[in-house]
């Protein structure tokens, strides 16, 4: 409060000469006083509203959806085709079909061009052409300089519509895939990922299924042709194009390139897992100097009302890098791991997962596990500090525009959102929903959706070194789940059958 003090000296008589001095000195730069903290700087507002998909959306006459985002800064055009479908459609016994079909499209030539001729043409045009099929989507892409676009796009469309499935190229691809399979047990991170997925989703769910030598050998060219026909058709297609073009001309070009290309049925959505994991400690033996550890449980779908709050909770817990609790505790304070944190894996069609992770020398794996479980307990037991929540919320709000930072980023977002379950105003209202989150909300969602007793701890490493714990006796593996631990056998990389005792 500003109260006059008639008895005291007038402040201005003392301060004014000083101010004058500073005013003279400042333009010279020498006595320029810098703000003592970044919070004292006036940054001004950065107005940003996310672009709206409907402003860029078109539907072609065969039903394919198209997003056009022209950008003439560089003489490049970038085309992305996204088809729904993926390895979740692999028939039992033919695991690997989706991946092989996607890879063969780019490698196998077309019905009128040999693979060699196709590759030579693409490379000579300096066109980047790609195709592939993942777990739940298939992609085909083209990046070309404007000057070569006509030829490059024709070549690209030939690949998308008329792939050649050259038999010799298929043999080479299979040899490569089999060589890759043989490496399955080489890397501890890879073993951890596979075992985690099997435990979390069940062996028969597509998130956990993997090809074997037998399943790859059972796949023939006709299997791929049929699979291609089912997935790579306009009824299943979203197109996104950015770069140096006129929208009207591009629409006309697509209409003519799509002529006679009949729309089929949309692929079904990926199935939810019908498996529940059993909480506990699981390990795979591998002689390495560092254990790799993952701790977690199932999470939420994006359209769950708590999903945004849970994301902010996770930023405080372990998803916010150096500003989050797990990283601070395990890495910065204790020096136990190079990377330690947690993530909420996004999911759309069925609940995703929460996973905390780290790698540490064998003797301190138990200690780091304990510290992480303690942090999960703490975020459930006590409200987070107002400062922690402010940092997490500010970070989400301030970095929100980065999701839309380039035309390509916006294009990719629109394309992938097209077939996801729609959440009304998800992007438009996102920052306001984050602003409204309170410390009580954080504690509530942590209590409702995280529970150490319901988690699994999965570990790959040298169990005999890991199990006794650290030299100072702060933690040992027997501290968790009453000392019960299940050894998971290493699997034969080609058959996936358990090997060893």
Partner 1 sequence: MRNTIRGALLGLILVTSAGGQQVQPDVFTLDNGMKFLLLPRTDQPNSIAAGWIAKVGSVNERPGITGISHFFEHMMFKGTTTVGTSDAARDAELTARQNEVRGRIRALHLGPQYERFRAGEIADPWDPANDTDEMRELREQLRGIQDEQREITRKNEFDQIYTRLGGSGMNAFTSHDLTFYFINVPSNKLELWTWMESDRLTDSVFREFFEERDVVHEERRMRTESTPTGIYQEQFDALFWQSSPYSWPVIGWPSDLNSYTREQAEAYYETYYAPNNLCGVVVGDFDLEEAKTLITRYFSRLERREPPPPVITLEMPQLAEKRMTVTCDCPPQVEVRYPSVPFGHADEAAIEMMGEILNGRTGRLYRSLVEDQQLATSAGVRQDSRKYAGAFSFRGECQGEATPEMVEAAWYEQLARLQEEPVAPEELQKVKNQILADTYRRLETNFNLLLQLGYYEALGGWEYINTYSKEMAAVEAEDILRVAKEYFAPEKRSVAIYYRNDGAPEDPLAGFPAQIRPMLQQFVEGLPAMTADQLEEALTQLQANRGQAPAEFQGALDFMLEKASARLDELQEGGE
Within 377-396, which residues bind partner 1 (CB under 8 A)? 390-391, 394-395
**For 385-498, where are the alpha helices, taking DSSP H only?**
386-399, 407-417, 430-435, 439-449, 463-466
Find the shortest distance in angstroms from Cβ 237 to partner 1: 24
Identify which range of 14-22, 124-132, 217-225, 373-381 contacts partner 1 by CB under 8 A. 124-132
Find the shortest distance in angstroms from Cβ 204 to partner 1: 29
Contact between 179 and partner 1 per CB under 8 A: yes
Q: How far apart are CA 90 and CA 386, in angstroms?
A: 49
For the segment 352-381, give every residue that binds partner 1 (CB under 8 A).
Answer: 359-361
Find the shortest distance in angstroms from Cβ 116 to partner 1: 8
The secondary structure element, H or E, covering residue 28 is helix 11-28
Find the shortest distance in angstroms from Cβ 405 to partner 1: 5
Find the shortest distance in angstroms from Cβ 463 to partner 1: 15
Identify which range of 186-194, 201-209, 377-385, 442-450 contacts partner 1 by CB under 8 A. 186-194
Residue 128 pairs in a beta bridge with: 143
- Candidates 2, 259, 322, 482; binder of partner 1 (CB under 8 A) is 322
Cβ-proximal residues to 249 (8 Å cutoff; 6+ apart), any chain: none
Q: List the x/- string, 443-472, binding to partner 1 by CB under 8 A.
A: ----------------------------x-
Pairing mode of beta strands 280-285, 137-145: unpaired
Q: Which is nearer to partner 1, 3 or 402 (CB)?
A: 402
Identify which range of 138-146, 270-278, 301-309, 445-453 contacts partner 1 by CB under 8 A. 138-146
Taking a C-beta distance cutoff of 8 angstroms, is the pair 299, 347 a contact? Answer: yes
Cβ-proximal residues to 275 (8 Å cutoff; 6+ apart), any chain: 201, 202, 204, 205
Identify which range of 15-23, 203-211, 257-265, 322-330 contacts partner 1 by CB under 8 A. 322-330
Q: 3-state DSSP call for residue 225? A: helix
Please state the length of the chain.
501
Q: Please identify which residue in the block is written with the tokens 């016994």.
A: 93
The secondary structure element, H or E, covering residue 176 is helix 167-182
Contact between 132 and partner 1 per CB under 8 A: no
Torsion 490-494-496-497 (CA) sign? negative
Helix axes 97-107, 167-182, angle to 10 degrees: 130
Give, in degrees to the nearest 5, the angle at Cα 198 between 498 and 176. 70
- Within 10 angstroms of residue 279's Cβ, the number of other Cβ atoms is 14
Q: 3-state DSSP call for residue 345? A: strand
Find the shortest distance in angstroms from Cβ 241 to partner 1: 15
Contact between 339 and partner 1 per CB under 8 A: yes
**Cα–Cα nearest to 331, from 307, 367, 355:** 367
Contact between 406 and partner 1 per CB under 8 A: yes
Contact between 399 and partner 1 per CB under 8 A: yes
For the segment 76-105, give every residue that binds partner 1 (CB under 8 A).
Answer: 76
For the segment 242-301, give every residue that binds partner 1 (CB under 8 A).
Answer: 288-290, 292
Contact between 23 and partner 1 per CB under 8 A: no
Contact between 398 and partner 1 per CB under 8 A: yes
**Cα–Cα nearest to 134, from 110, 100, 160:** 100
Q: How far apart are CA 167 and CA 110, in angstroms?
A: 12
Residue 1, token pair as written in the block: 């409060």
Q: Which is nearer to partner 1, 407 or 449 (CB)?
A: 407
For the segment 52-71, give every residue that binds partner 1 (CB under 8 A).
Answer: 71
Contact between 321 and partner 1 per CB under 8 A: yes
Find the shortest distance in angstroms from Cβ 242 to partner 1: 10
Identify which range of 38-46, 272-280, 304-312, 428-436 contacts partner 1 by CB under 8 A. 38-46
Q: Which is nearer to partner 1, 164 or 270 (CB)?
A: 164
Integer CA distances (angstroms), 446 to 381, 437, 475, in order: 9, 13, 24
Q: List the x/- string, 191-230, binding to partner 1 by CB under 8 A.
A: ----------------------------------------
Taking a C-beta distance cutoff of 8 angstroms, is the pair 354, 450 a contact? Answer: yes
Q: Which is nearer to partner 1, 48 or 428 (CB)?
A: 48
Contact between 36 and partner 1 per CB under 8 A: yes
- Candidates 5, 54, 402, 497; binder of partner 1 (CB under 8 A) is 402
Identify which range of 173-181, 211-219, 256-264, 306-314 contacts partner 1 by CB under 8 A. 173-181
Q: How far apart are CA 426 and CA 424, in angstroms?
A: 5
For the segment 142-171, give every residue that binds partner 1 (CB under 8 A).
Answer: 143-145, 168-169, 171
Q: 3-state DSSP call for residue 492? A: coil
Torsion 352-358-362-367 (CA) sign? negative
Find the shortest distance in angstroms from Cβ 127 to partner 1: 8
Find the shortest distance in angstroms from Cβ 75 to partner 1: 6
Find the shortest distance in angstroms from Cβ 280 to partner 1: 24
């Amino acid at each position: 409060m500003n109260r006059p003090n008639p008895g005291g000296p007038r402040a201005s008589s003392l301060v004014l000469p000083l101010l004058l001095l500073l005013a003279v000195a400042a333009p010279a730069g020498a006595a320029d006083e810098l703000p003592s903290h970044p919070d004292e700087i006036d940054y001004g507002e950065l107005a940003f509203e996310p672009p709206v998909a409907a402003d860029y959306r078109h539907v072609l006459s065969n039903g394919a959806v198209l997003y056009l985002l022209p950008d003439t800064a560089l003489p490049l055009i970038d085309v992305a085709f996204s088809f729904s479908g993926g390895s979740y459609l692999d028939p039992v016994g033919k695991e690997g079909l989706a991946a092989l079909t996607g890879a063969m499209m780019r490698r196998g030539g077309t019905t009128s061009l040999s693979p060699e001729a196709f590759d030579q043409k693409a490379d000579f045009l300096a066109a980047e052409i790609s195709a592939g099929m993942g777990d739940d989507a298939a992609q085909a892409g083209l990046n070309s300089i404007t000057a070569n676009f006509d030829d490059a796009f024709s070549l690209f469309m030939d690949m998308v519509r008329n792939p050649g499935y050259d038999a010799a190229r298929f043999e080479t691809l299979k040899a490569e895939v089999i060589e890759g399979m043989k490496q399955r047990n080489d890397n501890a991170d890879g073993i951890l990922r596979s075992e985690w997925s099997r435990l979390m989703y069940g062996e028969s769910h597509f998130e956990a299924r993997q090809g074997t030598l037998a399943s790859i050998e059972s796949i023939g060219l006709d299997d791929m042709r049929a699979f291609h026909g089912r997935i790579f058709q306009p009824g299943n297609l979203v197109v996104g194009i950015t770069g140096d073009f006129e929208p009207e001309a591009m629409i006309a070009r697509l209409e003519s390139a799509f002529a006679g290309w009949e729309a089929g049925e949309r692929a079904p959505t990926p199935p939810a897992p019908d498996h529940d994991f059993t909480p506990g400690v699981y390990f795979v033996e591998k002689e390495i100097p560092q254990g790799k550890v993952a701790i977690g449980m199932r999470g939420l779908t994006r359209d769950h009302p708590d999903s945004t709050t849970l994301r902010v909770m996770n930023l405080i817990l372990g998803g916010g890098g150096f500003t989050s609790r797990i990283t601070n505790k395990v890495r910065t304070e204790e020096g136990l791991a190079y990377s330690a944190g947690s993530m909420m894996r996004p999911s759309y069609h069925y609940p995703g997962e929460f996973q905390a992770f780290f790698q540490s020398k064998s003797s301190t794996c138990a200690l780091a596990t304990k510290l992480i479980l303690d942090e999960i307990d703490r975020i459930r037991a006590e409200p987070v500090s107002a400062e922690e929540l402010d940092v997490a919320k500010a970070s989400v709000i301030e970095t929100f525009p980065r999701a839309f930072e380039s035309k390509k980023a916006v294009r990719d977002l629109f394309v992938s959102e097209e077939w996801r379950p729609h959440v009304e105003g998800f992007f438009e209202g996102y920052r306001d929903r984050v602003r409204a989150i309170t410390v009580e909300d954080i504690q509530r969602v942590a209590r409702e959706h995280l529970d150490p007793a319901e988690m699994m701890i999965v570990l790959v490493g040298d169990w005999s070194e890991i199990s006794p714990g650290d030299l100072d006796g702060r933690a040992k593996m027997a501290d968790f789940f009453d000392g019960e631990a299940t050894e998971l056998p290493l699997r034969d990389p080609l058959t996936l059958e358990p090997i060893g005792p």
